[in-house]
Amino acid sequence: MDTQEFEQVDINSFLDHTAEDQQSAADSNGAFTDRQNELINQLLDYTKEHDKEHYETFVNRIMDLNSIDFSVSKFPSLLERSELSGSTRTRTTLIESLIKHQDAGDRTLRLPSKAVLGKSLLIAKAHTLSNFAKYAGHLGKDYEKLSKAFDTETILSMFSLLAEDVYLNLISDTSQPMEFRREWALSLLLLWEHWNDETSENVAPILQSVWTARRKLAPAFGTMMGTSELLLISMQMDDQWISFIKHKMGDDGVSQAMEEFLFGISTEQIQTLRTILKTKGIPAIGRDEVSKFLGEHVKADAGLDYRDFYSMYTIRRDNARSRARLKLEGPRKTLEDYFIQFVTEENKEKQNNDTFAKS
């Protein structure tokens, strides 16, 4: 089969769009960011010359995702005024609605259609980028850098998904200042509009590094304090993470959320394990022994896969929400919640200081 049969084509040539639609599509980057498109083009250049079958598959997948992205883009912007069902929706009304509607249970049906559709597109993108990373990883040393770059983009996509959860959690926290809750609500609207969030993109490398370092350590499942592990991790982090540790680790909720993150088991399981080991006079055990001592299967040692990270996060998130709902002891937020809350507080303090200095 001749390579020329699989030339890259503009998705618009397959769709019956008006001139206005075509201009709108031309102004868009498609489903992927400029940075991601650069990586994709490198992969397509290779497959076009050396692997025609995968070239066709990849082009078709990209066209499908671009088509979905175009459809999502036709929904009214969440940041602009729009008339829906006889009522007017603005950025302000959406923010107030997010703050007001804090019913227990799943909130999917209260979310804007564009947010739900965009989330599905984001998940499909993450899977596609992950597949590209795996493919490039099998091409030899010359393509290791490309594979790692695709991995990074996959993880950033996962963190955008995670950020949605974090913002919803923080918005529902009535103990937080209304100013912060509205700021998080606006950040959520921006995330839903573009599925690319500055805060999550800045936080992602830090939490990814903590996650990676966590797997290389051997927590002492005895005292369950994780002090040495935490110090080793913190030495590898940037100033913002060190500041978080310095100012927030004295809070019980934060320290317990950190333990859950480090050890991969719930606060309740940590307490049970601590009691068992103390009773048996055992100073410490390894991760592979946790299930045996607890008498139940627990996945204390997750891999580096982005799906593992998100899965472990959702377990901690659901446990935290249950404690908050049932008013139980233990962390009622995840480590990610506490960290992004801290980043918001620190940024706000910096803005106030800058304003004061200029006055």
Same domain, 15 and 151: yes
pLDDT confidence of residue 224: 55
Separation between Cα atoms, residue 60 and residue 50, nearest integer Å: 17
| CA-based nearest residue to 270, from 303, 250, 293 | 293
Specify the DSSP class assigned to residue 30.
T
pLDDT confidence of residue 103: 65
Q: Report yes or no on 95 lying in a domain.
A: no
| Residues 218/262, Cβ–Cβ less than 8 Å | no
Same domain, 130 and 68: yes
Is the pTM value of this prediction over 0.75? Answer: yes
| CA-based nearest residue to 334, from 244, 256, 238 | 256
Q: Residue 17 is encoded by which pair of tokens?
A: 């769009």
Q: Report yes or no on 184 lying in a domain.
A: no
For residue 108, the surrounding DSSP H or E stretch is none
pLDDT confidence of residue 4: 44
pLDDT confidence of residue 11: 41
Provide φ and ψ at 222, rounded to 5°.
-135, -75
Positions in the chain short of pLDDT 50? 1-27
Same domain, 6 and 149: yes
Q: Residue 129 is encoded by which pair of tokens?
A: 């980028």
Q: Residue 23 is encoded by which pair of tokens?
A: 């201009």
Answer left, alpha or beta for residue 112, where phi above 0 means left and psi between -120 and 50 means alpha.
beta
Q: Report yes or no on 291 lying in a domain.
A: yes
| CA-based nearest residue to 337, from 173, 209, 214 | 173
| CA-based nearest residue to 185, from 79, 318, 109, 87 | 79
- Buried-exposed string 241-279: b where 16+ CB fall within 10 A, e elsewhere: beebbeebeeeebbbbbbbbbbbbbbbebbebbeeebee
Structural domain boundaries enclosing 23: 1-78+107-158
Helix (H, G, I), strand (E, B) or coil at 168: helix
Same domain, 293 and 145: no
What are the pLDDT digits (tens) for 216-230?
Answer: 665 556 555 555 666
How many folded domains does the chain comprise?
A: 2
> Of 158, 189, 217, which residue constitutes the final position of a domain?
158
| CA-based nearest residue to 261, from 205, 220, 315 | 315
Number of H helices and number of E strands within the chain?
A: 15, 2
| CA-based nearest residue to 63, from 2, 99, 15 | 15
pLDDT confidence of residue 8: 47
Helix (H, G, I), strand (E, B) or coil at 74: coil
Q: Report yes or no on 318 lying in a domain.
A: yes
Same domain, 111 and 254: no
- As to burial, measured by CB atoms within 10 angstroms (0-12 exposed, 13-18 middle, 19+ buried), residue 75 is middle
| Residues 218/286, Cβ–Cβ less than 8 Å | yes
Q: Report yes or no on 168 lying in a domain.
A: no
Separation between Cα atoms, residue 61 and residue 8, nearest integer Å: 12
pLDDT confidence of residue 316: 96
Same domain, 151 and 271: no
What are the pLDDT digits (tens) for 158-189?
Answer: 999 999 999 999 999 999 999 999 999 999 99
Same domain, 227 and 291: yes
Instruction: Please report, as a single letter, which amino acid is at residue 211.
Output: W
